[in-house]
Amino acid sequence: MYSFNTKKYFSVPCLFFFSGANRLLFAIALLLAINSNAQDSLPKNYFINPLDIPVTLAGTFGEIRSDHYHTGIDMRTEGREGLVVHAVASGYVSRIVVSPYGYGNALYITHPNGYISLYGHLSKFNRKITNYVKSKQYADEKYTQDIALAAGQFNVEQGDTIAFSGSSGGADGPHLHFEIRNARNDDPINPLLAGYKVVDNLAPKIKGIALYPLNDSSTINNKHEALYIKAEKVNNRYLLAADSNINAYGSIGIAISCFDMADSIENRNGPYIKVLKDNGDTIYYTRMNVLDFSTIHFINGHIDYAAMHNRIDTLEYSFLQDNDKLRIYKKLVNKGRIYCRTKKNHTMEYFISDFNGNTSTLAFTIQGDIKKAKVYKDTAKFLAVASWDKPFSYSSGGMKIQIPAGALFNNMHFRYSLDTTSSNTAISPVYHIQDANTPLSANYTLMLKPNPYLPDSLLKKAVIVRLEGKSKVSVGGKWDNGYLVTHPRIFGKFMIAIDLYRPVIKPVNVFKDKDMSKDTVMAFDVTDNLSGVGYFKGTIDGKWILMESDSKKNWIYYTFDDHVAKGPHHLRLVVSDEVGNTTVYETDFTR
């Protein structure tokens, strides 16, 4: 619905305006009062620090991540793995997860006061839990686990060693991901509300703002397109350029780019509170206390998705799209939208605060345009209008698409075309479906039909791929009545591709007849060119062994345990991709 012009991004010169020290002091006092009241949502001094070092943060609750909000806090571990992780309160281990993705190795502890604590990216569990999980893995002959446990099986006392910190799963580096959830509905709650103290005397930083025309008659500086303006800090004040006049007509929305930092830490974390005032009245107010997993993907409609998708900046809207189910709003007036009229000025002011109450402000003025704007007409061709609140379906030739109600954030002009001329269309055309800058809150169904006369032997190896420049990214697919069907959550260019290549297995520290008595692991670099690794199995002397996966390194590895005795042995590793192409690696070694 909104245009995005990367050439205009932050192109306006910068300078600043400030509203006065008294207003700043009042804002800080107000935010601190709000903060104090909000802390009643978690019991104080009930949960202890899970680490033996002071709490410093590599990520804050409610921080904007790709396709979701961060649902916990990331506790720094001094760049190291293996720090002792303690139970923050008494209770019982209710869930154990082992995965190469997401939280990696994770523990959930249910507490008698109605909350659940979660500990993610662990390097390993304590000995008792490790032995239990390993026995389950060997019994199931399966590395990944998601184990639900009853009360009484693994009871813990506050302060017990439950695990050790690491960087398993999707972690970019060593840290402890820590959450507190409401046991009744699984909603994550900001752990800082429990009273954890973080040394932070630095106010958030404001990078800039963006303004958007929100309907066909709206303009900003006589143009129907977004306007991006940088901000700078001068004498402890954030201001916009003196010559960056903002003249607007019609319905306007504003977004802000900002982040928080703490003392002696370089991480850019998310702020806690964002307030926008229009002529002194609060029209938008968010506070990151509680999130809801059922609506967490609505973040894609609360940011300038095109700017984030193209890795330009993270701009968070201070207004609502037509379809917005987020539960982060404490106050909204007219959905945060500003209605500009001739000769009516709007004195706008942002208040951005971290959890400790450190606050930054940015003030600017929007001047009502002196003349009525012309109605903007979208001249680009489109095939249909998809309403955000109704199911939408469209079919043409070898393509069918079904978008569920609520997956879009606004009504959308649906655009589609196909390309049969490029060099990679021997299996199917390239289907251009909308564009990748259009956000979605849910998956849709995409069905593609291949070119005729392809043999079944090839079709069994088919996947749908999304084209990203010169790269092809598999989005999978299952055959149904002549169509290959998948369920992506992004628009773009799609086609059917055939995966005929087997996975590649490269030994990292293994070779024929090697004496591995001094090695603790045997590791293999495993890659696949298209559909992705879907299955692996290792055996030694014909018996299953626990081979683990590190998705960041593309490693599959076995840590030697009591299942392999001293003497000569034979290893067999089988790896298959998602369409069944299989590679087998075999070698002899001794222990």
Count of other CB atoms within 10 angstroms of residue 23:
16
Please tell me the predicted confidence (pLDDT) of residue 21: 45
Q: Which pLDDT tens digit goes with each residue over 543-578?
A: 999 999 998 999 999 999 999 999 999 999 999 999
**Rounded CA gap, 444 and 114, in Å?**
36
Contact 58, 77 (CB under 8 A): no
Name the pLDDT band for 24 (thresholds 50, 70, 90).
Answer: very low
Name the pLDDT band for 413 (thresholds 50, 70, 90).
Answer: very high
89: left (phi over 0), alpha (psi -120 to 50) or beta: beta
Please tell me the predicted confidence (pLDDT) of residue 9: 33
- Buried b or exposed e, range 568-581, using 16+ CB within 10 angstroms: ebebebbbbbbbeb
More confident residue, 21 or 301: 301
Q: Which pLDDT tens digit goes with each residue over 347-404?
A: 999 999 999 999 999 999 999 987 665 778 777 889 999 999 999 999 998 999 999 9
**Rounded CA gap, 29 and 46, in Å?**
27
CA distances to 16, 20, 242, 352, 360 from 235, rounded to whole Å, are: 10, 12, 16, 17, 12
Please tell me the predicted confidence (pLDDT) of residue 424: 66
**Rounded CA gap, 493 and 477, in Å?**
15
More confident residue, 31 or 143: 143
* Range 528-553 average pLDDT: 95
Structure-block tokens of residue 581 = 């192409």
Contact 525, 495 (CB under 8 A): no
Checking if the pLDDT of 205 tops 80, the result is: yes
Structure-block tokens of residue 6 = 């990367």
Please tell me the predicted confidence (pLDDT) of residue 420: 83
What is the overall mean pLDDT for the chain?
90
Instruction: Report CA torsion sign: 287, 288, 292, 298.
Output: positive
Contact 499, 577 (CB under 8 A): yes
pTM recorded for the entire structure: 0.89
Q: Which pLDDT tens digit goes with each residue over 444-474?
A: 999 999 988 888 888 999 999 999 988 999 9
**Rounded CA gap, 302 and 296, in Å?**
11
* Range 43-54 average pLDDT: 96
Phi/psi of residue 457, nearest 5 degrees: -60, -30
Structure-block tokens of residue 468 = 């990203």
Please tell me the predicted confidence (pLDDT) of residue 121: 98
Name the pLDDT band for 22 (thresholds 50, 70, 90).
Answer: very low
**Rounded CA gap, 441 and 68, in Å?**
10
Please tell me the predicted confidence (pLDDT) of residue 155: 97
What percent of the chain lies above the pLDDT cut of 90?
Answer: 81
Checking if the pLDDT of 251 tops 50, the result is: yes
Name the pLDDT band for 124 (thresholds 50, 70, 90).
Answer: very high
Task: Look at strands 582-590 and 555-559 and give their pairing.
Answer: unpaired
Q: Which pLDDT tens digit goes with each residue over 492-502?
A: 999 999 999 99
In sequence order, the β-bridge partners of residue 251 are 339
Q: Which pLDDT tens digit goes with each residue over 53-112?
A: 999 999 999 999 988 999 999 999 999 999 999 999 999 999 999 999 999 999 999 999
518: left (phi over 0), alpha (psi -120 to 50) or beta: alpha
Task: Look at strands 246-259 and 359-368 and give their pairing.
Answer: parallel
Please tell me the predicted confidence (pLDDT) of residue 372: 64
- How many C-alpha atoms does 484 have within 13 Å on its Cβ side? 26
Please tell me the predicted confidence (pLDDT) of residue 7: 34
Number of residues assigned to the chain? 591
Q: Which pLDDT tens digit goes with each residue over 334-363?
A: 999 999 998 899 999 999 999 999 999 999
Enumerate domains of the chain plus CATH numbers.
6-21+200-368 (no CATH), 43-194 (2.70.70.10), 384-498 (2.60.220.30), 504-590 (2.60.40.1220)
For the chain, the distance separating the N- and C-terminal CA atoms, rounded to the nearest angstrom, is 64
Please tell me the predicted confidence (pLDDT) of residue 484: 96
Phi/psi of residue 309, nearest 5 degrees: -60, -35
Residue 54: helix, strand or coil by DSSP? coil
